[in-house]
Amino acid sequence: MIEECLAVEFRVREDDCPLAQASRAVGVEIDAEPPQRRSDSYDLLEFRSVRSEALTDRLDDDDRISHLYVSRTGERSRYRCLSKHPCVVRTLIDGGLIVETLRYRADGTTISGAVVGRDVLEGVMEAAGETVGVTLERIYPRQSDAEEPPNQRWDLTPAQEECLRTALEMGYFTIPRETTSEAVADELGISKSAFLERLRRGEQVLFERIFR
């Protein structure tokens, strides 16, 4: 059994991926899920951004993108589409990288993930070396595998953890607040009252653990 797991972060400049080019063109940051390869060789892309008609129009006009779907909650948009363009991230995945987060910004793309074992790392690095503009920014032993998941470590229920994580990602806790309780509730697919109840119960659990 392989016990070593390494966290890695790659930086891609001048990425020709449709999402990367759209982010640079309109100056909007995009947070994406790892692409899901379908049997027809298309990748299913799911991603989010602040609400931007310019971004939507740019993607809608891109011939490499098909079946673009947009849902909006408050000041944020959630996108789903298909792409057959051979993106850099797909090259790294094929080399063995387990992608966890993708962030497209005007100054470049950040790909964070993990590799299991040094031999897999060599395969990923070989794939990265054959791709123009890809650099390894960070690599370090992954400590989280030896830790409990957040919901177990802090005695949160899975629903409370999801509620807190989504609220944080959407900017609910920032000052000034970037979203509303209604928007977060819509993103979670629950009512506003259910969201606020989970939020308060989750906060109570965290505060009790911190100040106990």
Nearest to 75 by CA among 183, 196, 204: 183
Q: How confident is the model at residue 71 (pLDDT cuts 50, 70, 90)?
A: very high
Instruction: Tell me the two tokens of residue 20.
Output: 């990367």
pLDDT tens digits for 86-133? 888 988 998 999 998 899 998 899 999 999 887 888 888 888 887 778
Chain-centre distance for alpha carbon 55: 18
Please report the pLDDT score of residue 50 as a whole number.
Answer: 92
| Mean of pLDDT values over 64-72 | 95
Give the DSSP letter of residue 75: T
Q: Is the pLDDT of residue 2 over 60?
A: no
Q: How confident is the model at residue 211 (pLDDT cuts 50, 70, 90)?
A: low
More confidently predicted of 183 and 119:
183
Please report the pLDDT score of residue 146 as a whole number.
Answer: 46
| Cα angle, residue 187 at apex, residues 186 and 189 outer, rounded to 5° | 60
SS3 for 158-196 is HHHHHHHHHHHHCCCCCCCCCCCHHHHHHHHCCCHHHHH
More confidently predicted of 209 and 84:
84
Instruction: Tell me the two tokens of residue 6.
Output: 């390494």
Give the DSSP letter of residue 145: G
Q: How confident is the model at residue 205 (pLDDT cuts 50, 70, 90)?
A: confident
Give the DSSP letter of residue 97: -
Whether 14 contacts 121, CB under 8 Å = no
pLDDT tens digits for 126-182? 888 877 788 888 888 866 544 555 555 667 888 888 899 899 989 998 888 889 999
The topology (CATH level 3) of 150-211 is Arc Repressor Mutant, subunit A (1.10.10)
pLDDT above 70: percentage of residues in the chain:
91
pLDDT tens digits for 19-54? 999 999 999 999 999 999 999 989 999 999 999 999
pTM of the predicted model as reported, rounded to 2 decimal places = 0.66
Structural domain spans, the chain:
5-144, 150-211
Please report the pLDDT score of residue 161 as a whole number.
Answer: 87
More confidently predicted of 141 and 203:
203
Instruction: Look up tokens 């063109």; give the residue.
Output: 25
Nearest to 129 by CA among 100, 88, 99, 98: 88
pLDDT tens digits for 5-27? 888 899 998 888 999 999 999 99
